[in-house]
Amino acid sequence: MLDIKFIREHPDVVKEGCRKKQVRIDIDKILRLDEQKRKLLKNIEALRGKRNLSTRVRPLQKEITEAKEIKKQLKDLGKKFKEIEKEFNELMLRVPNLPSDSVPIGKSEKDNVVIKKAGEKTKFDFKPRNYLEIAEKLDLIDTKRAAKVSGTRFGILKKEAVLLKFALRDFASDILVKEGFVPVDPPVMIKPEMMQGMGYVERGSQEIYHLKDDNLLLVGTAEQSIGPMHAEEIFEEKNLPKRYFSFTPCFRREAGSYGRDTKGIFRVHQFDKLEMFIFCKPEKSAEEHKFLLSLEEKIMQLLEIHYQVVQICTGDLGDPAAAKHDIEVWFPSESRYRETHSTSNCTDFQARRLNIRYRDLKNKKLEFVHTLNGTAVAIGRTLIAIIENYQQKDGSIKIPKILEKYLGKSEIK
């Protein structure tokens, strides 16, 4: 949520930011409702003051009549105030976070900018096979039985694929613990108001699984569980930055992706992911964003897989993000890059909605923290990247050297 004071003082900046994100929202209407709300509040306070002045131990008949009239006026104004406040709040929740000045302007993912490539593309002396073909022959991934049990966009990991999943989890966890991240294991079912606080309901609700009988939502990423942990809380400045990571199942309806990656496990309804999340002081969020990206790159470099870093353009940013980077890994069988990681700086957008602040010792004030998130390992997509880039001519798969000690072997055959 944006600060209404900022919208009042910089309406054109807000309108331009919304335009860059391709979000249609009537900022002028928000300002009109804000003005009406403030005038009504001023009238209500004046009437309350008048009522208090007219109250005596033994009021006269004139004052009794006047008090009844004031009571009626307060009731009418209060009802009108609530109506306007409701409409105002609904519109405010639909205003997205504004993109940072450093974000490239564009309309869609086609306008995202590649800012870095790292490592070398895997070279083969044979035609590389698709990961699913390799995995099915080795009995590592079973989509047919998964479809029998649950339908499309599900997969069953088996044998070494399961062990590789745990190896990736432990490998990334070791890195993050050494960097001072606190491991947490949060619920993956959260209240609707907590999801709304994270900024994923106004645009994006079609992606969310809703357990209607319990009025709970399944998270699409652990970020949505970790952020609300500190709702309505105040951090002490000395305790920032606060860095967490969590390994959880994630659930996405994949609405609107009909026909895309319906086979295999690249785009599924349920997957496991190790997610990083940071609460920090506003002046540190750009630095923390770079830190998250550096950790994502470190993980891919240690896995020795070729990748590129992409800066996401304004039109491809979600509501909460002010800036975002993706890591895309080279898939030999498709001769293209596919996204495996993302990291976003959400500035104070989520913190305002969840009322998460810190005590600034220098200014003796309470300020909103900034929040950031980043993928450490998306298990399914990283498994695919390993199978594709470490496949051998005889159909076996080499294990990245960094994972050998976790897996206890150097190849899958």
- Of 223, 342, 357, 388, which residue is the catalytic one? 342
Helix (H, G, I), strand (E, B) or coil at 100: coil
The pLDDT of residue 68 is 81
Quick one: angle between helices 285-303 and 160-178, nearest 10?
A: 140
Mean pLDDT calculated for residue range 107-113: 95
Both tokens assigned to 76: 């009418």
pLDDT digits (tens, 9 = 90+) for 269-326: 999 999 999 999 999 999 999 999 999 999 999 999 999 999 999 999 999 999 999 9
- Of 8, 203, 267, 338, which residue is the catalytic one? 267
Tokens 């652990």 — which residue? 222
For each of the domains in the chain, give its residue range(s) and CATH number, in order of start.
Answer: 4-92 (1.10.287.40), 109-412 (3.30.930.10)
If phi over 0 gives left and psi between -120 and 50 gives alpha, with beta otherwise, what is residue 40?
A: alpha
Q: Is 267 a catalytic residue?
A: yes
pLDDT digits (tens, 9 = 90+) for 115-129: 999 999 999 999 999
Query: What does pLDDT average to over the chain?
Result: 94
Q: Is 58 a catalytic residue?
A: no
Q: Is 252 a catalytic residue?
A: yes
Give the sign of the dihedral formed by CA 214, CA 216, CA 217, CA 219. negative
H or E stretch including 50?
Answer: helix 27-53
Helix (H, G, I), strand (E, B) or coil at 309: strand
pLDDT digits (tens, 9 = 90+) for 189-210: 999 999 999 999 998 899 999 9
- Of 252, 352, 353, 357, which residue is the catalytic one? 252
Mean pLDDT calculated for residue range 375-381: 98
- Of 129, 352, 353, 381, which residue is the catalytic one? 381
The 10 Å Cβ neighbour count of residue 235 is 20
- Of 179, 193, 339, 367, which residue is the catalytic one? 339
Rg (CA), the chain: 26
